[in-house]
Amino acid sequence: MTQYFFITGTDTNIGKTIATCALLQAATRSGYLAAGYKPVASGCMITSDGLRNRDALALMCNSNVRINYNQVNPYPLRSPIAPYLASHDEDKLIDLSMLSAGLLSLGSIANWVVVEGAGGWLTPLGEKYTYSDWVIMENLPVILVVGLKLGCINHALLTANAIHQTGLNFLGWIANHPLKNSYRSQDYLIALEKRLDIPLLGVIPWIKNAIDVPLFNYLNISILEKFY
């Protein structure tokens, strides 16, 4: 049975990729065949092999099944802006059925698939649909990443409330330190622990070049494993 997880965040640049890599590393060490999936990625680099996104490459490197780049990131977008705007500018309509096909493909070769979203929970992917619409369609369990910085309490509670309203399996949250020196980050963490009614799966400190170092020790995936 393949286990799927969707990683969303309170905002962009708050640590979704770091958390996803940490989950992939922890899964690998626990004996799972793990694959990362970032279906939509904006801000891609032009390379001799085509458009490439740094976050998607990190997920690929932390997967332990043989996959190619297009399997990890079927929608690479060049502009470093909101995916809907980038896809519109580049004339690349994001088809939700293609996202589902990619998910199914990875699920056929891995038994632990971690999907990293883009931006926050309600990030638009088209004129009439958001990323969350696809997550609901696929009934994916959700993990929330919170960047411990000013504004995170409000952002986290609003996002958690929106996820709860969908009825999806809301497995827990991961705290990440996106800034080297975030004033009173420990107080933010304590405040959120008191207010979020889902398990805290781990706390990731600020680490320079974090996606290139071991991260699995900062998470407790046994909390996730009990759901399956």
What secondary structure does DSSP assign to 58-73, as a single string? HHHHT--S---HHHH-
117 assigned binding-site residue: yes
Site of tokens 């638009």: 124
- Residue identified by tokens 């997920």 is 59
28 appears as a binding residue in the annotation? no
* 177 annotated among ligand-binding-site residues: yes
42 is an annotated ligand-binding site residue:
yes
17 is in an annotated binding site: yes
Residues in CB range of 218: below 8 A, 6 or more apart: 22, 202, 203, 204, 205
| Other residues' Cβ atoms within 10 Å of the Cβ of residue 76 | 23
Query: Is 90 annotated as contributing to ligand binding?
Result: no
Residue 16 assigned as binding residue: yes
Q: 131: Cβ–Cβ under 8 A, 6 or more apart, which residues? A: 8, 40, 117, 118, 119, 121, 122, 123, 124, 125
User: One of 38, 149, 208, 226 is an active-site residue; which one?
Assistant: 38
Does 225 appear as a known binding residue?
Answer: no
According to the annotation, is 153 in a ligand binding site?
A: no
Q: Is 207 annotated as a binding residue?
A: yes
Question: Is 107 annotated among the ligand-binding residues?
Answer: no
Contact 212, 21 (CB under 8 A): no
* 38 noted as active-site residue: yes
**Cα dihedral angle (156, 107, 100, 27), rounded to 10 degrees?**
20
Residues making up the annotated binding site for Mg(2+) are: 17, 55, 116
- Supply the residues annotated as catalytic: 38
Binding residues: 13-18, 42, 55, 116-119, 176-177, 205-207
Q: Which residues are annotated as a binding site for ATP?
A: 13-18, 55, 116-119, 176-177, 205-207
